[in-house]
Structure 1
Amino acid sequence: MSKRKTIITILVIAIVLVVGKNAFSGKAKKTTVTSGNKVSVKTQKVEEVTSGAKASFKASLEAVQEGAVTNKVGGKVTEVLFENGQTVTEGQALVKLDDTDVKNNVASSEAQLTSAEAQLKAAENQVNSSELSMDKMQTSYESAKRDYDRKKALYDQGAIAKTEFESAETALKNAQTDLSTAQNSIESAKLNIETQKANINSAQVNLNTQHNTQQNTTITAPISGVMDGKNVSLGQYVNIGTTLGKVKNISSINAVIQVKDSDLSYIKVGGKATLKLDGENAKEYEGTIQNIDAVADSSSRVFTCKIAIDNKNGELKPGVFGNVEIETGNTKKSISLPTQALGGSEGNYYVFINNKGVAKKSTVTTGEVSKDNVEIKSGIKSGDEVIITNVSTLLEDEAITVVSK
């Protein structure tokens, strides 16, 4: 055997012995990654930042204004013109009731009004006629009076017979009676005019009432907003005052929180607050503290505080929960990282730290999440260089090369 073959044989035996030893011992030898296989990553140096301290409160959202859809008249529902979630405007028709009987009442009231107006016209004509008649009776009376006065003077002088004087006296009395009758007729006609005017007024009021009733068979939205709480169906008979639904004005939303007496030192009307919804929606909404109850709840001893948030785009919905943050006026030191630096899952988060070119895993606890950043409460310290790319594919003790910081 040549010297070269002897060397090769010795090397093969040595390799077999090493592999066999590792196999029997159950331990895998750690492989050192060569520089050619290093993972390229970006890192960020950890810095502790001083910022304004914030207090967090659980919040529920409610409409800034709510109007009940109720009916002023009872009746059978013939049309339902809305659904929950539908946007409506003030005065828009939502429900219609059967108005057959009301239409009949309107027609009857119109007939009564027409009759009263006709009777008024007749009474006015009667007054005019009686006044013309009285003018004639007045003329006849004045003529009879002159004739009576003349014949009385002649009779007193013995110039005419008694029968002629008595005839003039009778004519005067008849003229007085006719004049009095004409005057009474005028007064009666004038009283009839007042009666018919009262009848017209009563008929007009009744007609207006029936028109209002007819209008109320169409039930409209009391305010503009979004429909909710639908409580009506086709064919249903509804009594007066039934709540058929609700209209919620959500152009502005109130975030309602409960605060303690000790919180009132920094929570003030007109102050700023930030809302973030529960769940995956990380968007923040800016609001203004609108009002704080003057008296605490008798049982919970907390104050209800409402924060107005503009909602013209309709993103926020009543009944949803979230968190409101309000600055306390104090300061705190904190560390934050981009959310992409986190690995793992909730309750078991970790980051990788660049330890002289090697990725070292460190378990961390998280705090508040703001947009694309997350607060790190423990697991890293100021000055650490945290890897912020390729986190999901990195392995513990894997060699890395930093391409950007």
Structure 2
Amino acid sequence: MIKGIKKSKKKLAVLLVIIIALFIGKIAFSGKTNKTTATSKSKVSIKTQKVQEATSGAKATFKASLEEVQSGDIANKVGGKVTQILFENGKTVTQGQALVKLDDTDVRNNVSSSEAQVSSAEAQLKATENQVTSSELSMQKMQTSYQSAQRDYDRKKALYDQGAISKSEFESAEDALKNAQSDLASAQNSIESAKLSIETQKANINSAQVNLNTQQNSLQNTTITAPISGVMDGKNVSVGQYVNIGTVLGKVKDTSSINAVIQVKDTDLAYIKVGGKAILKLDTENSKEYEGIIQNIDAVADSSARVFSCKIKIDNKNGELKSGVFGKVEIETGTTKKSMSLPTQALGGSEGNYYVFVNNKGVAKKCTVTTGEVSQDNVEIKSGIRAGDEVIITNVSTLLDGEAITVVSK
């Protein structure tokens, strides 16, 4: 029995030794695996670009608001009820294009009445002119009769003075001359009166024609047209509405060119000149640049802000620029500055918290940077790195500070 117990203890001891050996082996194998994993982790392949400092023309930046070069109100010159509206906001119109129509029934009646008045006055003038012509013909006959009576009187007076004819014969010739003279004077007065009537009737015709022209203009004004070519805005009218004279029914804006308006200090006037060039950018996301010409600078500064309003004219035939939008304007100062720039793809983070990674002897080093102007696909770096630094330009979004890297292209 004792021999059996010893044999069991021996087996237990062997089993224990085996368990311990397996446990130690597992630990050793696990450590070896972790070590192998840690040492076999691959480095991140990246591309880099060396930072270089460049000298360029210095630019001043100004906030700008965009506005149309010119605009015109759509207003009526006659009152009336709106019967048709021929425009909508945002619609492009041309100068003279019909936009609103008013009820023209009464005005057309007034035109017809005025035309009748003109026709009547012209007919009266024609009749009076015919009367004058007839009177002038009659006066010619009377002139002949008067001349004949005068000759007869002169002859009979001579005979009477010689006692060759009776007094009654002489007096008869004298009466005939007086009657012919009276008839001639009456005809002359009639002609003068008719001529004065002609002048009055001509004045009446002019007055009737002026009234007709006024009514015709009113008829024309019942169709309200665009004062300039441009884009419609501010629609303020509806069909059936009665509009009084001068009511603003909308606005047309000429946006074929756009003014970028900036405010400049007196110290800026040293390099901001009429006729000079300027560049407009809408925002940091839209890198497109719009070239403009400085159109005018106010002669007097704003009394409160002490700044001068400056307008920069920009071609906008494609309609990309909209009035009421804000942007920024860059104008060269005539001086130079040194700057560093990087591809925008090298930049990580968000506005106010941008960073880049620099190759620090095979390790990615995260550097906070301050950015400046954005141009095309490059961004100006004002601080955070130095000229000569090797900046990582790929895998920026997935890199970690201190991560091992391998440069595959510079």
Q: Partner letter of residue 196 of structure 2?
A: L
* Residue 25 of structure 1: aligned partner: none
1:282 aligns with 2:287: yes
Cα RMSD of the aligned pairs, angstroms, is 2.8
Q: Please give the alpha-carbon distance, in whole angstroms, between the structure 1 residues aligned to 2:317 and 2:22.
A: 83
Deviation at 1:30, TM superposition (A): 8.5
* Residue 317 of structure 2: aligned partner: 312
1:144 aligns with 2:149: yes
* Residue 47 of structure 1: aligned partner: 52
Contact 2:69 2:257 in 1 (8 A): yes
Q: Please give the alpha-carbon distance, in whole angstroms, between the structure 1 residues aligned to 2:178 and 2:276.
A: 97
1:370 aligns with 2:384: no
Q: Please give the alpha-carbon distance, in whole angstroms, between the structure 2 residues aligned to 1:33 and 1:260.
A: 63
- 1:2-401 matches, cutoff 5 A: 10-16=24-30, 31-34=38-41, 37-278=42-283, 280-401=285-406
Q: Please give the alpha-carbon distance, in whole angstroms, between the structure 1 residues aligned to 2:39 and 2:82.
A: 82
Contact 1:33 1:399 in 2 (8 A): no
Of all paired residues, the percent bearing the same amino acid is: 81
Deviation at 1:9, TM superposition (A): 7.2
Between stretches 59-68 and 10-19, larger displacement belongs to 10-19
Q: Partner letter of residue 402 of structure 1?
A: V
Q: Please give the alpha-carbon distance, in whole angstroms, between the structure 1 residues aligned to 2:40 and 2:224.
A: 78
Contact 1:33 1:398 in 2 (8 A): no
Q: Please give the alpha-carbon distance, in whole angstroms, between the structure 2 residues aligned to 1:279 and 1:241.
A: 44
Q: Partner letter of residue 11 of structure 1?
A: G
Deviation at 1:333, TM superposition (A): 2.5
Deviation at 1:67, TM superposition (A): 2.1
Deviation at 1:198, TM superposition (A): 1.4
Q: Please give the alpha-carbon distance, in whole angstroms, between the structure 2 residues aligned to 1:366 and 1:157.
A: 135
Q: Please give the alpha-carbon distance, in whole angstroms, between the structure 2 residues aligned to 1:60 and 1:30.
A: 60
Q: Partner letter of residue 389 of structure 1?
A: T
**TM-score for the superposition, normalised by structure 1:** 0.88
- Larger CA Rg, structure 1 vs 2: 2
Given the superposition, is the C-alpha separation of residues 30 and 341 from structure 1 closer, same or farther in structure 2, using an over 3 Å criterion? farther
Q: Please give the alpha-carbon distance, in whole angstroms, between the structure 2 residues aligned to 1:224 and 1:266.
A: 35
Contact 2:284 2:374 in 1 (8 A): no
Contact 1:77 1:233 in 2 (8 A): yes
Q: Please give the alpha-carbon distance, in whole angstroms, between the structure 2 residues aligned to 1:76 and 1:279.
A: 50
Q: Partner letter of residue 161 of structure 1?
A: S
Contact 2:118 2:209 in 1 (8 A): yes
Q: Please give the alpha-carbon distance, in whole angstroms, between the structure 2 residues aligned to 1:29 and 1:129.
A: 136
Contact 2:156 2:165 in 1 (8 A): yes
Could you list the per-position Cα deviations for residues 153-200 of structure 1 after superposition, in whole angstroms to 9, with x for gaps in the alignment? 333333333333333332222222222222222112212221221111
Provide structure 1 residue ranges, at least 5 long, that are not aligned to the other structure. 23-27
Q: Partner letter of residue 285 of structure 1?
A: Y
Deviation at 1:327, TM superposition (A): 2.2
**TM-score for the superposition, normalised by structure 2:** 0.87
Q: Please give the alpha-carbon distance, in whole angstroms, between the structure 2 residues aligned to 1:332 and 1:179.
A: 105
